[in-house]
């Protein structure tokens, strides 16, 4: 079993161009292997925080530490490589390219990092696709899939590398309750099997009992 990553955010401040109110987080600490939810009103910066943890953006000030790596101090190329190897990302709008089939979409992050999919990657994809219930859909383009199938494909892509850290931004937001719970089941099953740490941004408070820890951007830990 792989060991998940801890995540620590300190004195975080990020101001988007033209934004009057910056996103501010005094402290966020998530332990190895924990399942954590981040909640808060729309526009409060939940996606910004997740983007900083993944290294997609660098905060205006403060530090973001994932495992033993201070991601906020890495250069762009280093952050991309770290994200490719160590972090699985699930987006609310799936972010599947329509001209690629599901297999190709699954390996896209590796290709963007200048790497070819290895035989081990191929085997992991087959295993994750079976677990996600899309093993017979890998040859299809995203437009040929239902909403639930598209989100399971996005989850499968995030799990291909057995990442120590899984970040999901509103993964159930565009799904019905049954499909949404099934997606959460897949993420938590991966965490149980591999020891991954899971952080989920959500607005659905009915799901919060399933998490080890719940954090509001106000800094108040509520569970």
CATH homologous superfamily of domain 7-216?
P-loop containing nucleotide triphosphate hydrolases (3.40.50.300)
Q: What residues contact residue 9 under an 8 Å CB cut-off, 6+ apart?
A: 25, 27, 28, 29, 49, 52, 53, 62, 63, 64, 65
Answer whether residue 223 shows pLDDT above 60.
no
Decide: pTM greater than 0.95.
Answer: no
So what's the pLDDT on residue 162? 86
Q: What is the DSSP letter of 170?
A: S
How confident is the model over 78-109, as pLDDT tens digits? 998 899 889 999 987 778 889 999 999 998 87
Spans of all domains in the chain:
7-216
Q: What is the DSSP letter of 62?
A: E
Sign of the dihedral defined by the CA atoms of residues 87, 157, 198, 176, in that order = positive
Q: Give the CA distances from residue 157 to residues 167, 177, 217, in Å, rounded to whole numbers and listed in that order.
A: 12, 22, 28
Contact between 200 and 168 under an 8 Å Cβ cutoff? The reply is yes
User: In this structure, what is the dihedral angle of CA atoms 158, 83, 140, 188, given to the nearest 10 degrees?
Assistant: 0
């Amino acid at each position: 079993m792989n060991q998940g990553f801890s995540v620590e955010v300190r004195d975080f401040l990020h101001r988007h161009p033209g934004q009057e109110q910056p996103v501010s987080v005094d402290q966020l600490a998530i332990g190895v292997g924990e399942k954590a939810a981040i909640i808060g009103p729309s526009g409060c910066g939940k996606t910004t925080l997740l983007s900083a943890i993944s290294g997609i953006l660098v905060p205006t000030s403060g530090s973001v530490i994932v495992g033993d790596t201070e991601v906020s101090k890495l250069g762009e190329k280093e952050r991309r490589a770290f994200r490719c190897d160590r972090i699985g990302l699930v987006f609310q709008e799936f972010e599947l390219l329509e001209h690629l089939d599901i297999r190709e979409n699954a390996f896209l992050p590796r290709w963007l990092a200048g790497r070819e999919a290895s035989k081990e990657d191929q085997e992991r994809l087959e295993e994750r696709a079976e677990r996600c219930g899309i093993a017979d859909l890998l040859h299809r383009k995203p437009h040929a899939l239902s909403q639930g199938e598209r989100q399971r494909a996005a989850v499968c892509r995030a799990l291909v590398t057995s990442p120590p850290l899984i970040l999901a931004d509103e993964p159930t937001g565009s799904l019905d309750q049954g499909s949404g719970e099934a997606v959460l089941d897949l993420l938590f099953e991966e965490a149980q099997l591999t020891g991954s740490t899971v952080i989920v941004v959500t607005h659905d408070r009915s799901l919060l009992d399933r998490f080890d820890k719940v954090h509001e951007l106000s800094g108040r830990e509520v569970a």
